[in-house]
């Protein structure tokens, strides 16, 4: 019995040892789970897997409908058991290699156009800066030239003119301006007596236009027409007057001050000056003397009130009255008159 126990004990111990060896061997081999043979291990494990694979292939050929069996690897690590298909591990490794390579190609593809656009923007900014600098230098040069010319003109004005000794710059410039001003034409000042029919005394605050008229009485003089305006205070037949009357011999009579309104153009009396012109012929054409005095008077008034020839109008231009008759019927003669005024100035 003791022998039986010992023999039984040996058998039991041998069985446990065999089991231990088999478990130890199983920790380092691969078993069949299906699929193709893949993976890598040590030399002993590789042989075990090969034999297991051969057995699996034989078993697969004997079995019906079992094909493309896969090989799984069983390993035991310190953290625990882990099972993974060798084919999946290869796919993971290849995916990791591709993921490490993609950013480099992406950086090359995405980053290559960026420096070109940056260079273009820098060049455009540099061109704008150069243009700005050039414009600034030109403006500075123009300002320096103007300052130099102005300083030279003032210096010559103060030192070359003997009459400027002891005078200030304002007085000298004022005298120069006055010297360049056009002189008023010889004028006979004979104002009308204030009355409501020819000289109302209403203030003329601004002058925007100068109107040219004709007397509509051929052969009458400037003095006669002035008397006609004065007699309206007695006759009261109508309201009429003008600031100036030019006779057919060229004489100029001023009837109303330029600070007051005249009764000449009904809708424009409040901002205009009127000039009546005498004539001899029925067609209303002015004599040369009347024409010359008219040109001088118009040039002087436009200078005094800072007007242009565009501000010289016919009575016809405001209301359509045929006045002055000749210069309404002969447009070219009117244009020639305006050109002569511009040249006179």
Say how many domains are in the chain: 3
Q: Which of 181, 203, 230 is the last residue of a domain?
A: 181
CATH number at residue 298: 3.40.80.10
Asked if residue 213 and residue 266 are part of one domain, the reply reads yes
Reported as half-sphere exposure (CB side, CA atoms, 13 A), residue 345 has a value of: 17
Query: Would 324 be classed as within a structural domain?
Result: yes
158 lies in the same domain as 302: no
Residues 48-97 have pLDDT tens digits of: 555 655 665 555 555 444 444 444 444 444 444 445 555 556 666 666 66
Tell me: do 9 and 37 sit in the same domain: yes
262 and 168 within one domain: no
Answer for the pair 209, 310: CB distance below 8 angstroms, yes or no: no
Beta carbons within 8 Å of 327's beta carbon, 6+ residues apart: 212, 284, 314, 333, 334, 337
- Tell me whether residue 118 is in a domain: no
Mean pLDDT, the chain, as a whole number? Answer: 77
Residue after which a domain boundary falls, among 165, 181, 197: 181
Which of 181, 197, 230 is the endpoint of a domain? 181
Q: Which helix (H) or strand (E) holds 57?
A: helix 43-62
Does 120 map to a domain? no
* CA 109 to chain centroid: 39
Q: Are residues 273 and 309 in the same domain?
A: yes
For residue range 89-142, list pLDDT tens digits in order.
Answer: 666 666 666 665 555 444 444 445 557 777 888 888 888 999 999 999 999 999
Instruction: Give yes or no: residues 340 and 192 share one domain.
Output: yes
> Are residues 45 and 169 located together in one domain of the fold?
no
Does any domain span residue 141?
Answer: no
Shared-domain flag, residues 69 and 170: no
Residues 276 and 334 in one domain: yes
- 87 shares its domain with 172: no
User: Which pLDDT does position 91 carry in this prediction?
Assistant: 64
Q: Looking at residue 342, what is its pLDDT? A: 95
232 and 327 housed in the same domain = yes
Pair (233, 329) in one structural domain? yes
More confident: 232 or 99:
232
Q: Does 82 reside within a domain?
A: yes
> Is the per-residue pLDDT at 43 higher than 90?
no
CB 274: neighbour CB atoms within 10 A?
A: 24
Domain span holding position 257: 188-344
Answer whether residue 24 is part of any domain: yes
């Amino acid at each position: 019995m003791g022998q039986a126990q010992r023999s039984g004990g040996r058998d039991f111990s041998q069985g446990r040892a065999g089991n231990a060896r088999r478990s130890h061997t199983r920790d380092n081999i691969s078993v069949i789970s299906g699929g193709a043979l893949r993976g890598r291990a040590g030399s002993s494990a590789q042989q075990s897997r090969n034999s297991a694979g051969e057995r699996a292939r034989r078993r697969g050929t004997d079995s019906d409908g079992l094909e493309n069996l896969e090989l799984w690897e069983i390993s035991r690590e310190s953290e625990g058991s882990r099972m993974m298909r060798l084919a999946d591990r290869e796919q993971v490794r290849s995916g990791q290699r591709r993921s490490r390579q993609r950013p480099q190609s992406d950086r090359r593809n995405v980053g290559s156009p960026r420096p070109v656009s940056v260079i273009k923007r820098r060049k455009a900014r540099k061109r704008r800066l150069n243009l700005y600098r050039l414009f600034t230098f030109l403006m500075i040069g123009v300002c320096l030239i103007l300052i130099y010319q102005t300083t030279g003109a003032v210096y010559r004005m103060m030192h070359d003119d003997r009459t400027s000794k002891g005078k200030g710059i304002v007085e000298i410039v004022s005298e120069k301006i006055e010297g360049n001003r056009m002189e008023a034409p010889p004028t006979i000042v004979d104002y009308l007596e204030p009355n409501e029919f020819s000289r109302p005394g209403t203030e003329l605050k601004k002058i925007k236009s100068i109107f040219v008229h004709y007397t509509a009485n051929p052969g009458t003089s400037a003095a006669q027409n002035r008397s006609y305006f004065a007699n309206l205070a007695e006759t009261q037949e109508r309201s009429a007057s003008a600031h100036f009357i030019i006779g057919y011999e060229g004489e100029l009579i001023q009837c109303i001050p330029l600070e007051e309104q005249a009764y000449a153009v009904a809708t424009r009396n409040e901002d205009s000056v009127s000039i009546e012109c005498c004539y001899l012929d029925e067609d209303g054409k002015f004599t040369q003397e009347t024409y010359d005095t008219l040109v001088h008077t118009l040039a002087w008034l436009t200078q005094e009130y800072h007007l242009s020839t565009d501000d010289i109008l016919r009575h016809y231009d405001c209301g359509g009255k045929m006045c002055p008759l000749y210069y309404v019927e002969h447009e070219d003669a009117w244009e020639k008159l305006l050109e002569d005024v511009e040249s006179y100035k």
